[in-house]
């Protein structure tokens, strides 16, 4: 489980968040200038605080049970341009300037390999 109790997130923001049972909110990363949806990660209060204060996306790894900063290992950084909550305050949209691949498979986006329907053809 995440470490929400040690968070420095602004209490006014924390009070608005609607978290899942495990204390997380989905965080959609979107390329700021093109609108391209890059990936979905998970944030707890501390990950959101770090994202807001460092200018780099920090996520909570559900599999490893630890924080990770996008790009620290891969070099594929996400530089934060803006952060917004959706109308229900249960999803975060982080508009970023993506450097390199966003997906752990090495592709630009996590949403390009398994297209179920497309009217682009």
What pTM does this model have?
0.88
Residue with tokens 């990660």: 41
Tens of pLDDT, residue by residue over 64-80, are: 999 999 999 999 999 99
The tally of CA atoms less than 13 A away on the side-chain side of residue 74 is 18
Query: Any binding-site annotation on 44?
Result: no
Please provide the average confidence, as pLDDT, over all residues in the chain: 92
The CATH architecture annotation of domain 28-111 reads Roll (3.10)
Query: Any binding-site annotation on 121?
Result: no
Query: Any binding-site annotation on 57?
Result: no
Q: Please say if the pLDDT value at position 1 is more than 60.
A: no
Q: Please say if the pLDDT value at position 121 is more than 80.
A: no
Q: Taking the domains of the chain in order of start, what are their residue ranges? A: 28-111
pLDDT tier, 5 (very low <50, low <70, confident <90, very high otherwise)? low
Q: Quick check: 38 and 31 in contact, CB under 8 A?
A: yes
Q: Residue 108 has which token pair?
A: 């630009």
Q: Residue 56 has which token pair?
A: 């780099």
Tens of pLDDT, residue by residue over 81-103, are: 999 999 999 999 999 999 999 99
Output phi, psi for 38, to 5 deg.
Answer: -100, -50
């Amino acid at each position: 489980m995440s470490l929400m109790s040690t968070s420095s997130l602004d209490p006014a923001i924390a009070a608005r968040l609607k978290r899942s049972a495990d204390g997380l909110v989905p965080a959609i990363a979107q390329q700021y200038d093109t609108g391209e949806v890059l990936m979905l990660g998970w944030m707890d209060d501390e990950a959101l605080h770090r994202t807001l204060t460092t200018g780099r996306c920090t996520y909570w790894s559900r599999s490893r049970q630890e924080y990770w900063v996008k790009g620290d290992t891969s070099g594929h950084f996400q530089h934060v341009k803006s952060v917004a909550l959706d109308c229900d305050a249960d999803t975060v949209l982080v508009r970023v300037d993506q450097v390199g691949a966003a997906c752990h498979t090495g592709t630009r986006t996590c949403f390009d390999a398994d297209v179920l329907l497309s009217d682009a053809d």
